[in-house]
Amino acid sequence: MELLKSSELVSTASIQFADQKQEFNKRPTKIGRRSLSRSISQSSTDSYGSAASYTDSSDDETSPRDKQQKNSKGNGDFCIKNIKQADFGRREIEIAEQEMPALMALRKRAQGEKPLAGAKVVGCTHITAQTAVLMETLTALGAQCRWAACNIYSTQNEVAAALAEGGFSVFAWKGESEDDFWWCIDRCVNLEGWQPNMILDDGGDLTHWIYKKYPNMFKKIKGIVEESVTGVHRLYQLSKAGKLCVPAMNVNDSVTKQKFDNLYCCRESILDGLKRTTDVMFGGKQVVVCGYGEVGKGCCAALKAMGSIVYVTEIDPICALQACMDGFRLVKLNEVIRQVDIVITCTGNKNVVVREYLDRMKNGCIVCNMGHSNTEIDVASLRTPELTWERVRSQVDHVIWPDGKRIVLLAEGRLLNLSCSTVPTFVLSITATTQALALIELYNAPEGRYKQDVYLLPKKMDEYVASLHLPTFDAHLTELSDEQAKYLGLNKNGPFKPNYYR
């Protein structure tokens, strides 16, 4: 299972990040900006909530930290809400397994060899059925795992129970306090006679904690796999400052993940999010989409297909020209703000929809955000005395002007697709597979292949992740003949495209 040769490595140390404001040692508060800058698979609290809700309404108010629980084998090295929910969780995990074919395939391939034998992985991610499939895959590949939640709301308690019942040391429950959050992380890493040698992080909090509390641990750690925008950003800053002391793998920017999370996923979730919250009919609606990057492209394609009339705003002339060629009128927001029925932001920018525009929207206009954070719509500007807020449904507010005009604000300007729609397991499967492969690669890499730097996934690994997901579609890949490979100057097994191919 040697995946890469050193010549295929790609250092991304030189990738520049625009947002230089966050410094690693200024920790954002837990609930505030943290959750806002996360990528799609992270803080999807609301989505999982629905599926899990039937077991959540427990009236047991005791803190898990105050309980003594053991699983059926007498093991008590975990801290979760309620071990009795394990059966429910197991069913959720089994259902998720059906849509995560790549991880199941990895398990099969690794039945003989154990590429993670000896690996001690400490993880900090959302704890959901999909994560459980990942964890159990890592174990099947030979690893030992200890795990905490990266978000105080997103844990599916019954899944945590199933994992604990299965012997995993899990420390997480839905509704942790900030103090609980760090306590759980600490329980994962601070154990007599056990030291992690791999980190799987989502948001950088686990990495941060080890840096701060147990810097010596890095001597044994072979690498960090990080998934989130925020976490990756922190790693680049550490690297820049010369403080990164182990190799790190940036899973977030792999092409497979980007295309799925942004273009394909948003194409579906924009419709889903709008329908679930407003029941709006798309046909004939006039919509302005701010930003024509991958997210904007997905939103525009979906709405156009459903019969909406879509306008686009852009700052980048290349994306602007793409919008034109794709059949969208490129406008400035003020040119159409009076006439549109729906306003969607997908820019990653701040203050794209400001009070001035909100004042000029027509009655009933729906305003929502599909972009990077909650800064795109200036929601704060709507908190003025003359405007009345009316919560009409979960995630739906009517903001009412003195003359009776109502603006329909979704998710208070936070990400619509995280708050009001769900993320298909198939998308999460791609991320989880990439994480598993990144762990295997870093753990097995020969000395010297990776320096103390941040690496993008090699194209070949991206291609491998993609290939593991093709059977889901009953898709049959063509293989190059020797003659063709020679003609193209390619290895028959790839990589087939340059690294920058999207």
296 in a known ligand binding site: yes
**Residue 368: strand pairing partners:** 344
**Is 460 labelled as part of a ligand binding site?**
no
> Residue 347, Cα to own-chain centre: how many angstroms?
18
Closest CB to a copy of itself among residues 243, 332: 332
Residue 70 per-residue DSSP state: -
Name the region of 395 (left: φ>0; alpha: ψ -120 to 50; beta: rest).
Answer: left
417 is in an annotated binding site: yes
Alpha carbon distance 126, 227 (integer Å): 11
CB of 485 to a copy of itself, least distance (A): 9
Taking the least distance from each CB to a copy of itself, the nearer of 230 and 422 is: 422
User: Closer CB to a copy of itself, residue 65 or residue 275?
Assistant: 275
Q: Does position 357 bind a copy of itself by CB under 8 A? A: no
Q: Known binder of ligand: residue 176?
A: no
C-alpha torsion 379→380→382→384, nearest 10: 170
The three-state (H, E, C) secondary structure of 196-208, written as one string: CCEEEECCCHHHH
Calculate helix-pair angle for 45-56, 157-165, nearest 10 degrees.
70
Residues 97-136 interacting with a copy of itself (rule: CB under 8 A): 98-99
Is residue 494 close enough to count as binding a copy of itself by CB under 8 A?
Answer: yes
Of 114, 350, 355, 451, the one binding a copy of itself by CB under 8 A: 350
Stretch that binds a copy of itself, among 57-65, 221-229, 303-311, 439-447 (CB under 8 A): 303-311
SS3 392: strand
Ranges within 228-287 binding a copy of itself (CB under 8 A): 255-256, 259-260, 264-265, 267-268, 271-272, 275-276, 279-284, 286
Region from 1-9, 68-76, 222-230, 470-478 binding a copy of itself, contact rule CB under 8 A? 470-478
> Binding to a copy of itself (CB under 8 A): which residues in 9-48?
15-20, 47
Q: How many CA atoms lie within 13 A of 236 on its CB side?
A: 25
Please report the DSSP string for 132-198 in residue order: HHHHHHHHHTT-EEEEEESSSS---HHHHHHHHHTT-EEE--TT--HHHHHHHHHHHH-BTTB--SE
Of 151 and 256, which CB lies nearer to a copy of itself in the complex structure? Answer: 256
**Between residue 306 and residue 335, which ones bind a copy of itself under the rule CB under 8 A?**
306-309, 313-333, 335
Q: Which stretch binds a copy of itself (CB under 8 A): 118-126, 183-191, 203-211, 475-483?
A: 475-483
Binding segment (CB under 8 A) for a copy of itself, from list 136-144, 237-245, 297-305, 440-448 = 297-305
Other C-beta atoms within 10 Å of 495: how many?
Answer: 17
